[in-house]
Amino acid sequence: MKQWFLLLPREARALLLAGAVVGAAIAFLWLSSMAGLLVGSIREASIVKPQIARLLGYEQVGNEFDRVLEQATLQLRELSYETAEGAQAGARLQQSLRGFAEEYGLVVTGSQLLTEDESAEEDDNLFEVLSVDLSLQGTPMALDQFLTEIRLHTPILAVSSLDLVRPRTIRQRRGASPQNPDSLNIRMTVVGLRELRR
């Protein structure tokens, strides 16, 4: 074959070589495209098969998803205020805390609502932190009952800081009601969560 090729006239040899190169290039392109198609299809099938299996699995346990979602939603309601409550959630929390305090004999001398996004530097915040500063006056017993009420509250609340100060003994004015010797000045911060997404 090589001998035959070398014996060919120069121009015929060049033309034949060019034709062979073009043919080889076409064959290479075709083979590589077929190989690419084969490998790509195998890869695609290997990706799609588990996805289909997963979807079919979801379909089989669809009712279970509904049930678990319901439970998860109920659990979430125990942990945070709903998104739908909007800005009113903070006001409601403040109002509730004032109501509890007064219910257990504490005198509310001041309250302030502060709101901030949880991990505000992150883009996708999940919750808004509702924070209520309370200034109260009352006995340790009333405080204990108030703390118990906060612990049992739904959605969950937490006390982030608590400061108890014994008030200075003030000389009592004539005719004024006697000062309770057990009374404390209480300053506390109560925090709760409001869901931001959904």
Partner 1 sequence: MDQASPFSLFGLDLSQYAARILLGWQQLLWGEEVGLRDRFCPPVRFINQQSPDQAGSTGAALNNDATDAPGLGWLIPESEVLIREVSLPIDGEIFLREAVISTVQSHSPFDFAETSFGFRIAHRSPTELTLTVAMVLRATAEAHAREAEAQVHGVATPIELWAEDGSSAVMLEGFGESDRAQRYYANLGRFAVRTATAVAAIAMILSLPALWVSQHAGQLAELKSETQARVGSVVAVREELVQSQELNAAARSFFEAYVDYGPWLHQVSALTPDQVYFQRLGLDGSTLTVSGLAENAADYQRILAEAGMFSELVAPSAFTRDERAGRERFTLSMRLMSELAE
Contact 125, 118 (CB under 8 A): yes
What are the residues binding partner 1 (CB under 8 A)? 4, 7-16, 30, 34-35, 37-38, 40-42, 44-45, 48-49, 51-52, 55-56, 58-59, 62, 65-66, 68-69, 72-73, 75-76, 79-80, 118, 126-127, 129, 140, 143-144, 147-148, 151, 156, 158-166, 191, 193, 195, 197-198
Q: Select 45 or 176, whichever has its Cβ closest to partner 1.
A: 45
Least Å from the CB of residue 70 to partner 1? 10
Least Å from the CB of residue 178 to partner 1? 20
CA quadruple 29, 35, 38, 41: dihedral positive or negative?
negative
Rounded CA separation 127/89 (Å): 12
Nearest to residue 190, comparing CAs of 71, 76, 101? 101
Residues 41, 43, 45: CA angle, nearest 5 degrees: 65
Nearest to residue 131, comparing CAs of 166, 165, 81, 82? 81
Q: Select 10 or 174, whichever has its Cβ closest to partner 1.
A: 10
Least Å from the CB of residue 185 to partner 1? 9
Least Å from the CB of residue 136 to partner 1? 14
